[in-house]
Chain A
Amino acid sequence: MLLDLVSSALGMPAAGASAGGFAGSGAADGGLSSWLTGGWLSTPVVVGLGTGLLGLASGLVSPFAVLRGRSLVTDAVAHAALPGICIAFLLVGERNFAALLGGALVIGLLAAGTITLVHRFTRVKEDAATAMVIACYFGLGIVLSSIIQDLPGNKAGLDGFIFGKAASMTRSDLMLIGGVALACIAVISLLYKEFKLLAFDRAFAQSQGWPTTMLDLGVMALVCACTVVGLPAVGIVLMVALLITPAVAARFWSDRLATIVLLSGAFGAVAGAGGTTLSTILPAPPAAALSRGWPTGPMIILTASLLMLASLLLAPRRGLIARALQRARRFSDPEVTPPAPEVSP
């Protein structure tokens, strides 16, 4: 029983074993199209929808983490979610979403706390502290997941945690991801004003009496929720990218936070669904090593990175090309005069 749960927790289509998903739907064979869950909701559609929704949720949360200047902390929290999930799984003994989320959140916050403590009580710089904490918690996570892996009979892959197996996504996984996406939309539309203030000027927010620590926790809880549901699909390393890249790409296109949040969500969704589609429709390479087709998780991140690259180059005003053009125009056009010297240092 345990190994079935473990294999599903690892997001692996364990051959021959019937795996209980989050809500206990069955999975038999690992092949993409070998099992249909009925009607139009075939596996590729489930996977495409799931990764799309996952991208949407992460993309919506992303700006509030990135613009608050906490990309690295988010990185650490997402990495620390791995040992959190493992501990929760070992304690509860089944793949219960609430327990996994709780574990991810507690250990993720512990990691964030560790960074603060190391930074405050030693002379270690914050970036060094963050890098150490990420490695430390990630190492712990790998140790714990290999313990889970070594539990009798179970050989299901560690790589499920690290790189994800989107193809094994079940309908119940999809429902869960949908739920998290809805929760992200709800929380962000309710607390948009508060998150905005927190991201721009935390001290001022605190002076107005806002519970800034709780709001920070709220953002981190959303990060953890995305990580927990995204882990089986894209894996821990790539999940981090999905939480950061969309906002960075969206920032190039707009100077309005609301636009950036929507755009970031859209970028995430396009990366998720687009990456999955690409990995499905691209002709399989001849090499035997890739006989199982293109890996979905990495394709999603590559799509996100392509969007990022396109934004970096093509965005009006902030893009590299636009800025090069502006500079060229400024130097070549004799009509253009330097700005009035009204500007102070």
Chain B
Amino acid sequence: MSQQSAPIDPKPNPQRGQRAGPRAMPSQRSNDRHPQATTGVDRDAARTGDIASARGLDAAGALEATEGGPKGQLEGVPAVEVHDLTVAYDRKPVLWNVDVTLPAGRMIAIVGPNGAGKSTLLKSILGLIPAASGYVRIFDKPLRQTRDLVGYVPQRESVDWDFPIDALGVVLMGRYGKLGWFRRPGKADRQIAMRSLEQVGIADLASRQISQLSGGQQQRVFLARALAQDAALYLMDEPFAGVDAATERTIVDVLHAMREQGKTIVAVHHDLQSAPQYFDHVLMLNVRLVAAGPIETTFTPENLRRTYGGRLNLLEQAGEAMRLATKPQVDRAGPGKGAR
């Protein structure tokens, strides 16, 4: 785990990271932090400027944590590479030429105004939406080969919560991908599902009909389902939307515990105030990629202004966020009046 472990670093990535920045520059008003953003430096490495060593650490962390996982695959490889991705609905571009690399083992926030393409980016990474151009690689492989390593937490409103199923039943669905065709979840799957419910603190609600759960409990059920997937990369669409302060706290704790295990978490996040406290990387999006990188260096007033444009109330919030970001000691983690 020493800084010397760095050279293990695999084939194309260091080059890729450096290549991506300059190449992306002409097409987007990308900032000079872009190269940094794409390399997956962590805080310490950012200070020392030793990019490769940060990668080595990432790899080690991922290795230790993913017991039983496909260790070789994850070694030092970025979690997600998005290459020149453009997505359009009805010929109206929702994402324009987004080119970014997300490091493994980090908690990464996707922020941006409404209609910036945040959910679309998540869904494109998951292959749920066809890209007009560009492609995505997960752990340096096409999605087809890495599906089992990817967990997904959709927006809570995306399903019918009056569906006839209990909480445990929903969590068990996280196991379906590994079960494959025709096989039903067995005892082992049930145990994993129960453990996931315990982790999010609602094991007592396992047999509760999902329509009888509060919004926060429903969000926890979705998180537990993702935990049951036992993935290495988790894509979450607004995991904090409409939950109370206690649930938000629990979810953050669970996500941080997951990161400690080397999991990568990419979440669409709306509350600019809490972003610097919860996440260590940020991807700022407004149809184009505005900036991406470690949150201390990327989540700046200038980038926020460029992301949110001239929207007044949002700018005010951004101002608030800046103050907080510069004074991270001040605990204001409450359920912020998000930017929604």
Contacts and interface: CB of A to CB of B under 8 A. Distances in A.
A191 B182 contact: yes
B243 A344 contact: yes
A255 interface: yes
B214 A343 contact: yes
Contact of A200 (B160, B209, B215): B160
B90 interface: yes
Given A255-B164, A257-B165, A200 B159 contact: yes
Given A201-B159, A208-B177, A345 B215 contact: yes
Instruction: Report which residue of A201, A257, A343 has the largest number of chain B beta carbons within 10 angstroms of its beta carbon.
Output: A201
Interface residues of B, number: 39
B163 A199 contact: yes
Interface of A: 67, 69, 120-121, 190-194, 196-197, 199-201, 203-210, 251, 254-257, 260, 342-345
A254 B173 contact: no
30 contacts: A67-B160, A120-B90, A193-B176, A193-B183, A193-B185, A194-B176, A194-B181, A200-B159, A200-B165, A200-B173, A201-B154, A203-B123, A203-B128, A203-B158, A204-B152, A204-B154, A206-B126, A207-B127, A207-B128, A207-B150, A208-B177, A208-B229, A209-B147, A255-B164, A255-B166, A257-B165, A344-B216, A344-B243, A344-B244, A345-B215
A200 B163 contact: yes
Contact of B147 (A190, A203, A208, A342): A208
Nearest to B153: A204
B247 interface: yes
Nearest to A254: B164
Contact of A67 (B147, B164, B183, B216): B164
A196 B163 CA distance: 10
Contacts of B170: 200
Interface string B223-235: 0010001000001
Contacts of B173: 197, 200-201, 204
B163 to A, nearest CB: 5
Interface of B: 90, 123, 126-128, 144, 147, 150, 152, 154, 158-160, 163-166, 169-170, 173, 176-177, 179, 181-185, 209, 214-216, 225, 229, 235, 242-244, 247
Instruction: Report which residue of A193, A207, A257 has the largest number of chain B beta carbons within 10 angstroms of its beta carbon.
Output: A207
Nearest to B209: A255
A254 to B, nearest CB: 7
The 4 closest A-B pairs by CB, nearest first: A208-B177, A344-B244, A207-B152, A343-B214
Contacts of A209: 144, 147, 177
A207 B126 contact: yes
A193 B176 CA distance: 8
A203 B184 contact: no
A344 B214 contact: yes
Contacts of B164: 67, 251, 254-257, 260
